Amino acid sequence: MDFIEIFKESTLTLTTNKVRTGLAMLGVIIGIGSVIALMSLGQSSQKNITDQIQSLGANLLTIQPGAAQSGGIRSSSSRDTLTLEDAKAIKKEISLVTEISPIISGNSQVVAGKNNTNVSIYGVYPTYTSVNNIKIASGSFITDKYLNNIGRVAVLGPDVVTDLFGEGANPIGKSIRVNGQNLKVIGTTVSKGGSGMMSSDNMIYIPFTTASKVLFGQNYLSSLSLSVINENSMTQAEEQVEALLLKRHKISDPDKADFRIMNQEDIIETISSVTGTFVTLLAGIAAISLVVGGIGIMNIMLVTVTERTREIGLRKALGAKKKIIITQFLIEAILITFIGGIIGVIIGILISFILSSLMSLSFTINISSIFLAFGVSVFTGIVFGWYPAKKASDLQPIEALRYE
């Protein structure tokens, strides 16, 4: 009996027992579908976070205030360590820094008519748009005129516009109320995607002086954004800024710095590491179902051996070799995992596409994860199909023919 005949015989056996074959496939389908869907969602989330960070601006350094470390733990109780004078000194003394944007920020309830929402409010300089890659959709951004005159004006992110005025509304010229103060809307920004309080789509921008003297009553900076001349100068610029601030703050030990400097690559690397571990964990959990599916295949195949004992005995009595019996049972196991693998891949892609759409994530499928999951499923078929095949081939013809 050649391979083609064995293949046809295996196919006939599987199609004759459709329910049993379907149950054997189910574990593989669920396992592969889960692996692909979970890995896809993890990678989509990772890409979404990375895109948001990169969209903040090119060659960006961010400085945040923070208390000195004590015993290896950084306290967040002291937030008044960065000043406008620090920002001006950096701009004046460090040539690698092309633009600088001091920021005072806070969260507040904003009211427009009968609608209200809680958003992040950023007091900024006109340079904020170039440093943080913000584009204006309509109207204008904060100008030096509003900055110098402590102008009570605001620029809204697209999510804020929708929450306060409705989808597609034009808020230019209308008023909003923040902390008891009326602000006139002078512009809106282009959507950059993302969600949550830290999304630029869910922010309101006002003049730095208005935030400092009218809304929040503080002189210390919440953060400081710097644009470096080019990507290759990021490390050098970071070192120069750190040295300058340590000198200004009269701190000799860098480990006791009352500020921290972050660049995009550091943030992306940290987040990628965390999300990568999370994706691997999800894939590992999903992969357990592949093992369960493999055990299910072995159980079904063992039942098949029992049911076909007389058939196996008859074939061996007529001269069928052990190799042929093993080959047929292995082909049946591999066909189950192969077909189940294809169905699982399709279902996994569909589930990840649907969930990505519902969660407003970019649809991402890693081809390597598909090949990995599919390869594991076929390997599972071989491993878990071998024992039943070996057991079938070891049956003695006389005992098998006598089996009831």
Q: Indicate if 161 and 302 belong to the same structural domain.
A: no
Q: Indicate if 179 and 72 belong to the same structural domain.
A: yes
Q: Which of 233, 257, 281 lies at the terminal end of a domain, its last residue?
A: 257
Q: What pLDDT shows up at residue 153?
A: 95
Q: Indicate if 339 and 392 belong to the same structural domain.
A: yes
Per-residue pLDDT of the chain (404 residues; tens, 9 = 90+): 566 777 777 787 777 778 878 877 887 788 788 778 877 877 777 777 766 665 655 578 888 887 544 444 444 445 678 889 999 999 999 889 888 999 999 888 999 988 988 999 999 999 998 888 888 999 999 999 999 999 999 999 999 999 999 888 899 999 999 988 999 999 999 987 655 446 778 899 999 999 999 998 888 899 898 888 887 788 888 889 999 999 998 888 888 888 888 877 666 666 667 767 776 776 677 667 667 767 777 777 677 666 666 666 666 676 777 777 777 777 877 888 888 888 888 888 898 888 888 877 777 777 777 777 777 777 776 777 777 767 767 766 666 555 44
Q: Indicate if 342 and 298 belong to the same structural domain.
A: yes
Position 29 in a domain = yes
* Residue span of the structural domain in which 12 resides: 3-51+270-402
Q: What pLDDT shows up at residue 58?
A: 55
Please report, for residues 1, 291, 332, the alpha-carbon distance to residue 382 in angstroms, rounded to integers and kept in the order given: 21, 12, 10
Position 58 in a domain = no
Rounded distance between C-alpha atoms, residue 315 and residue 326, angstroms: 13
Q: Which of 257, 290, 307 lies at the terminal end of a domain, its last residue?
A: 257
Can you name the residues that pair with 100 across neighbouring β-strands?
A: 226
Q: Indicate if 37 and 95 belong to the same structural domain.
A: no
Q: Indicate if 274 and 391 belong to the same structural domain.
A: yes
Position 373 in a domain = yes
Residue 280 has which token pair? 């691997």
Q: What pLDDT shows up at residue 185?
A: 94
Q: What is the 3-state secondary structure (H, E, C) of the chain?
A: CCHHHHHHHHHHHHHHCHHHHHHHHHHHHHHHHHHHHHHHHHHHHHHHHHHHHHCCCCCEEEEEECCCEECCEECCCCCCCCCHHHHHHHHHHCCCEEEEEEEEEEEEEEEECCEEEEEEEEEECCCHHHHCCCCEEEECCCCHHHHHCCCCEEEECHHHHHHHHCCCCCCCCCEEEECCEEEEEEEEECCCCCCCCCCHHHEEEEEHHHHHHHHCCCCCCCEEEEEECCHHHHHHHHHHHHHHHHHHCCCCCHHHCCEEEEEHHHHHHHHHHHHHHHHHHHHHHHHHHHHHHHHHHHHHHHHHHHHCHHHHHHHHHCCCCHHHHHHHHHHHHHHHHHHHHHHHHHHHHHHHHHHHHHCCCCCCCCHHHHHHHHHHHHHHHHHHHHHHHHHHHCCCHHHHHHCC
Rounded distance between C-alpha atoms, residue 283 and residue 131, angstroms: 38
Position 240 in a domain = yes
Residue 302 has which token pair? 């063992």
Rounded distance between C-alpha atoms, residue 181 and residue 341, angstroms: 61
Position 62 in a domain = no
Q: Indicate if 72 and 37 belong to the same structural domain.
A: no
Q: Indicate if 230 and 363 belong to the same structural domain.
A: no
Torsion of CA 167, 170, 175, 180, to 10 degrees: 30
Rounded distance between C-alpha atoms, residue 226 and residue 57, angstroms: 10
Q: Which of 200, 227, 257 lies at the terminal end of a domain, its last residue?
A: 257
Q: Indicate if 132 and 220 belong to the same structural domain.
A: yes
Buried b (16+ CB within 10 A) or exposed e, 174-211: bebebeeeebebbbbbeebebeeeebbbbbbbbbbbbb
Nearest alpha-carbon partner for 222 in 356, 76, 114: 76
Q: Indicate if 98 and 21 belong to the same structural domain.
A: no
Tell how strand 259-263 and strand 60-65 pair up.
Answer: antiparallel
Nearest alpha-carbon partner for 121 in 191, 176, 64: 176
Q: Indicate if 42 and 103 belong to the same structural domain.
A: no
Position 262 in a domain = no
Nearest alpha-carbon partner for 403 in 310, 304, 314: 310
Backbone angles phi, psi at 121, to 5 degrees: -115, 125
What residues have CB less than 8 Å from 328, skipping those under 6 apart?
6, 9, 10, 389
What residues have CB less than 8 Å from 228, skipping those under 6 apart?
59, 60, 61, 96, 97, 98, 234, 237
Q: What pLDDT shows up at residue 157?
A: 92
Number of structural domains (the chain) is: 2
Nearest alpha-carbon partner for 108 in 224, 214, 220: 214
Q: What pLDDT shows up at residue 332?
A: 79
Q: Indicate if 140 and 13 belong to the same structural domain.
A: no
